[in-house]
Amino acid sequence: MNSHYTKLVKNLEYLKLNQMALHLDETVDFMMKNQLSFTETLIKLTDYEIDIKEINMMKSMVKVAAFPHLKEVKDFDFDFQPSVNKQQILDFTTLRFIELQENIVFLGPSGVGKTHLATAIGIAAAKKRTSTYFIKCNDLILNLKKANVENRLETRLKHYAKYKLLIIDELGYLPIDAEDAKLFFQLIDMRYEKKSTILTTNVSFKLWGEVFQDTKIANAILDRILHHATVVSIAGDSYRLKNHLVKENKESNGQ
């Protein structure tokens, strides 16, 4: 090895350009073989560094988003849930709905894949470095409530309002009292026509008045969420009970 080569490796390591140092040999070989120009060679070498940076950035975006698991669209069995339109879900993963500041509501009973699909779309967004955050509705309300008590509601609202995609999971599993409903409304209002929200719920819209224990607030929330939204209604069996259902069918068929 000549001393220039050694010095270059040292420089790259000093600059923490480890990928460039790692791929230096093969890039020099490739350059000789294909008679690349200086610029072409540098592009090839710096691309190694950029690739790793992008992968790390993607990983940290996914981490920051706080998903409950890393299930993606490819892990979803569309044959099991025929009421879900695969093309529509794939279209969501292009993130066109985020560019249009539109919302998505997944509506359906427990176990049909609402959280799975919401997460899958969220992962697609985080991978493209769209600021994304996943939170259960109940935790969101508790956090807003706490912030309100501690006189920092505005800051907390702004925090949740800034995500380009906010996923609010499980609206309706627990009742929300009218005071808390107002906090929730403020967030939805701040995001309205500015940012995209994905909501999952097991409660049909006409019963939201009961969830929020205030029909007026419930309507104001619904208005803003549904104004620019795609509602994905999932009517089907719970995937969690899949194996039990198969067993039951077999039993009832005398198998």
Binding site for Mg ion (CB under 5 A): 114-115
Query: In angstroms, what CA-CA distances link 248 with 70, 112, 200, 212, 253?
Result: 31, 18, 29, 37, 8
* Nearest to ligand ADP of 68, 175 (CB atom): 68
For the chain, how big is the Rg over CA atoms in Å? 25
Say how many Å lie between the first and final Cα of the chain, rounded.
74
Candidate list 27, 81, 132, 201; residue touching ligand ADP; CB under 6 A: 81
Candidate list 112, 121, 126, 147; residue touching ligand ADP; CB under 6 A: 112
Q: Does the protein bind ligand ADP through residue 111 (CB under 6 A)?
A: yes
Site string for ligand ADP, 59-78 (x = CB under 6 A): ------------x----xx-
Candidate list 80, 91, 178, 179; residue touching ligand ADP; CB under 6 A: 80
User: How many other CB atoms are there within 10 angstroms of residue 20's CB atom?
Assistant: 22
Query: Which entry of ligand ADP, Mg ion, none binds 194, CB below 5 to 8 A by partner kind?
Result: none
* Nearest to ligand ADP of 19, 132 (CB atom): 132
* Nearest to Mg ion of 12, 107 (CB atom): 107
Residues in the chain: 255
Q: Does the protein bind ligand ADP through residue 201 (CB under 6 A)?
A: no
131 DSSP 8-state letter: -
Candidate list 16, 240, 244, 247; residue touching ligand ADP; CB under 6 A: 240
| Count of chain residues binding ligand ADP (CB under 6 A) | 15
Q: Does the protein bind ligand ADP through residue 128 (CB under 6 A)?
A: no
Q: Does the protein bind ligand ADP through residue 83 (CB under 6 A)?
A: no
Burial class (CB in 10 A: 0-12, 13-18, 19+), 232: buried
Please state the closest distance from residue 138 (CB atom) to Mg ion, in A. Answer: 12
Residues 6+ apart with CB under 8 A from 172: 137, 201, 202, 203, 207, 208, 211
Cβ 197 vs Cβ 115: under 8 Å = no
Which residues face 230 on adjacent strands?
Answer: 104
Residues near ligand ADP (CB under 6 A): 71, 76-77, 80-81, 110-116, 200, 239-240
